[in-house]
Structure 1
Amino acid sequence: MDKIAVLIPCFNEAVTIEKVVKDFKAVLPEATIYVYDNNSTDGTDEIAKRAGAIVRYERQQGKGNVIRRMFSEIDAQCYLMVDGDDTYPAEAAREMVDKIFDDHADMIVGDRLSSTYFEENKRPFHNFGNSIVRWSINKLFKNDIKDIMTGYRAFSYRFVKTFPILSKGFEIETEMSIHAVDKNMFVENVIIEYRDRPEGSESKLNTYGDGMKVLCTILRLFRFYRPNIFFGTTAVVLALLSVIFFIPVLITYAETGLVPQFPTLIVCGFVMIAAIQSFFAGVVLKTIYQKNRQDFEMDLYRVTDDFKRKLSKDE
């Protein structure tokens, strides 16, 4: 088991990967540097090897797929994940790692948005998207993570080994943040100095396509983690619509004894039935969710015991 594993997912980062590897080797000399190449065509893997990194491969395209592979293959007391584009400062790594060891935190978030991100990032829609995602998750999930989509994070062993990765692409950071909040993991923020990509290095993030995937991920995870609120709100909206359209029918019936808008009455009945179904779906799914939470807590105990056994073997 490594003491510290620096994980660098890469796709065509030949311009910057050598500097990133060397910077983190200098700041964390005791760490093992892993570069996971995701079908690069510019020689990223060979450059990383020459810089001193252990290079492995993930053939399924997408950052989520790469992180899934890294988390499953590597055992470490502390994991530090960073992008290979040289936008995150290696100087912050020691503070982030120390918080995992000393504070027993589960996830440390490298917070770009509280420092230089909005000045350094030259893509205004990226800035706007990060703000929207942070605001929506903080409101929906009642948390205070300062930077939801940062690629600079540190993790404990128990976080990595209990995190079920479902996302395939850049929405993986959003999934990590929501998982940590929902499972009551200990999360801390470390403010970092963000710098834009150097000349010749291009972002792989599609502002609109990946942005929509992130928003859909938030909605999907909100439905999964907060089913009572999601389906309860849906039930209230459907019930209100049913009542609003039913009132004119009721008034006409009270005045004339007739129901000329019979199709409207039928639709109102079906909409109210849908509202009742949505309400009870939320109740049932909430019960299932509570059972999953109990199972997760037991998994934490098992992972902690496994961690202790591996540590004792290494000693």
Structure 2
Amino acid sequence: MDKIAVLIPCYNEAVTIKKVVEDFKTTLPEAVIYVYDNNSSDDTAKIAKEAGAVVRHEYKQGKGNVIRRMFREIDAECYIMTDGDDTYPAESAPEMVDMVLNKGCDMVVGDRLSSTYFEENKRPFHNFGNDIVRKSINFLFKSEIKDIMTGYRAFSYQFVKTFPVLSKGFEIETEMTIHAVDKNMSVGNVVIQYRDRPQGSESKLNTVSDGIKVLKTIARLFKSYKPFQFFGIISLLLLIIALAFFIPILVTYSKTGLVPKIPTLLSCGFLSVVAIQTFFSGTILQSLRQKEKQDFEMNLNNVYFKMQQLLKK
């Protein structure tokens, strides 16, 4: 079991990967640097190996797929996850490690948005997207995470071994954040000095398509993690629509004793029934979520026991 493992998912980062590996080897000499190559068409894997990293491969495309394999294969007391594009400073890693190993944090967020991100990042729509995602998640999940989509994080063994990776691509960071908040894990924040990619290094993130995936992920996880609120909102909207069409019919009936719009009345009744069914669906799913949370706590204890056994070896 490693004391510290630095995890670097990579796809075509030949321009920067050598510097990233060397920076982390200098800053965290006790750490093992793992570079997982994700079907790069350049010399990323070769350069990383020559720089002293342990190089492995994930042939299923997508950052989420890479992280799933990393988390499954590597055992460590503390994990540092970073990108291979040299946008995150290795100098912040010791503070993040300390928060995991000595202060009980399960996840430490490398916070770009509180420092230089909006000045350094030359893609305005990325800035706008980060702001929208951060505010949406903090509102829906009642959290105060400073940077939702940062790729620079530190994790405990318990977080890594209990995190179910469902996303395949860049939406994985959003999933990590929501998981930590929902499971009441200890989340720390370290402000980092973000720098934009150097010349010759290109981002693989597509602002529109990946942004849509992230928003869909938020909606999916909100439904899964907070079913009562999700279905409650839908139920309320259906009920409001039903009432909006029913009230004019009721007013007409009170004045004339006639119901001139029978189809509308039937539709109102149908919507009301659906609203009630939706509400009780949310109630039932919320009860199942409570059981799932109890099971998670038991699993967390088992993972902690396993970690203690690994440390004794």
TM-score scaled by structure 1? Answer: 0.98
Distance in 2 separating the partners of 1:41 and 1:230: 43
Matched residue, 1:14: 14
Deviation at 1:144, TM superposition (A): 1.2
Distance in 2 separating the partners of 1:255 and 1:142: 47
Matched residue, 1:273: 273
Amino acid of the structure 1 residue aligned with 2:247:
I
Point out where structure 2 has 5 or more consecutive residues left out of the alignment: none
% identical equivalent positions: 69
Distance in 2 separating the partners of 1:229 and 1:93: 37
Amino acid of the structure 1 residue aligned with 2:111:
D
1:236 matched to 2:210: no
Distance in 2 separating the partners of 1:133 and 1:42: 32
Deviation >6 Å, runs of 4+ = none
Distance in 2 separating the partners of 1:110 and 1:254: 63
Distance in 1 separating the partners of 2:225 and 2:109: 21
Matched residue, 1:125: 125
Distance in 2 separating the partners of 1:104 and 1:157: 11
For residues 127-161 of structure 1, the C-alpha deviation after alignment (integer angstroms, 9 at most, x for no partner) is: 00001111111111111111000000000000000
Amino acid of the structure 2 residue aligned with 1:114:
S
Report matched runs for 1:169-248 at 5 Å.
Answer: 169-248=169-248
Deviation at 1:250, TM superposition (A): 1.6
Deviation at 1:179, TM superposition (A): 0.3
Amino acid of the structure 1 residue aligned with 2:229:
I
RMSD between aligned residues: 0.6
Deviation at 1:70, TM superposition (A): 0.2
Deviation at 1:252, TM superposition (A): 2.0
Matched residue, 1:291: 291
Matched residue, 2:42: 42
* Equivalent residues, number: 313
Distance in 2 separating the partners of 1:271 and 1:204: 44
Amino acid of the structure 1 residue aligned with 2:194:
Y
For residues 215-255 of structure 1, the C-alpha deviation after alignment (integer angstroms, 9 at most, x for no partner) is: 11111111111111111111111111111101111222222
1:258 matched to 2:258: yes
Distance in 2 separating the partners of 1:180 and 1:123: 28
Matched residue, 1:161: 161
1:94 matched to 2:124: no
Amino acid of the structure 2 residue aligned with 1:182:
D
Amino acid of the structure 2 residue aligned with 1:89:
P
